[in-house]
């Protein structure tokens, strides 16, 4: 009996309805200016990728994070998300991002969002909080798209039983779209990996 694919995916209907907001947020809104530290931004992206279990996104953003100077010991801290392992400002951002991901995926957060948001506002102004939300939104879309690609490959190989809400056609369409961004992104990530190695020599 085949194992069921249990990672969060995205249906074609949701993909198409979310795509305009995704394009606007990623290529217009966030390009107008980076409101938070680049290292923190990558840590949030890694945290969300880890929670959504997207191997592709986690791998690429771990390389980008290392290129930006994030230590491997700091990346390891993200595995457990222990509050004591982070300074206050960083923890507030990571904790809020985690809980906001629950909301985006229609799940009740395990903590009081009002209290978490109140604590976040002591460390970040409103435009920075909006940037954190945008990063979570983009990564959630990327992760679930990446997971759908993984499920499509698993369907073709016969390794797992695909999710009931998905279909071969929807996975094919999403995979083709993902590939448009994945190819240039892969080239960029490999270039950064090479530059990081050369810089350490």
Q: What is the CATH number of the domain that holds 77?
A: 1.20.1290.10
Our count of domains for the chain comes to: 1
> For residue 125, what are the domain limits?
36-200
Q: Of residues 34 and 69, which shows the higher confidence score?
A: 69
Query: Could you tell me the CA-to-CA distances from 129 to 96, 105, 118, 122, 159 in Å, in that order?
Result: 9, 19, 11, 11, 41
What digits encode the pLDDT tens for the residues 102-134? Answer: 999 999 998 999 999 999 999 999 999 999 999
- Quote the tokens at residue 136: 């979570």
What pLDDT was estimated at residue 1? 64
- Return the closest-CA partner of residue 145 out of 109, 90, 92, 185: 185
95/18 Cα distance (integer angstroms):
24
Residue 142 lies in a domain: yes
What confidence score (pLDDT) does residue 200 get?
77
């Amino acid at each position: 009996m085949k194992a069921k694919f249990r990672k969060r995916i995205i249906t074609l209907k949701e993909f198409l309805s979310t795509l305009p907001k995704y394009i606007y947020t990623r290529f217009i809104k966030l390009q107008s200016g980076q409101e938070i530290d680049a290292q923190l931004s990558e840590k949030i992206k890694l945290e969300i990728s880890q929670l959504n279990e997207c191997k592709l996104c986690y791998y690429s953003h771990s390389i980008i994070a290392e290129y930006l100077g994030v230590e491997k010991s700091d990346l390891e801290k993200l595995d457990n998300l222990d509050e004591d392992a982070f300074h206050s400002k960083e923890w507030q951002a990571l904790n809020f991002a985690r809980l906001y991901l629950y909301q985006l995926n229609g799940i009740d957060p395990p903590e009081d969002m009002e209290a978490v948001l109140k604590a976040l506002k002591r460390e970040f102004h409103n435009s920075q909080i909006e940037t954190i939300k945008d990063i979570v939104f983009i990564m959630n879309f990327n992760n679930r798209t990446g997971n759908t690609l993984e499920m499509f490959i698993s369907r073709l190989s016969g390794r797992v039983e695909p999710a009931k809400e998905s279909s071969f056609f929807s996975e094919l369409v999403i995979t083709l779209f993902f590939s448009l961004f994945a190819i240039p992104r892969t080239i960029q990530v490999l270039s950064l990996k090479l530059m990081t190695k050369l810089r350490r020599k």
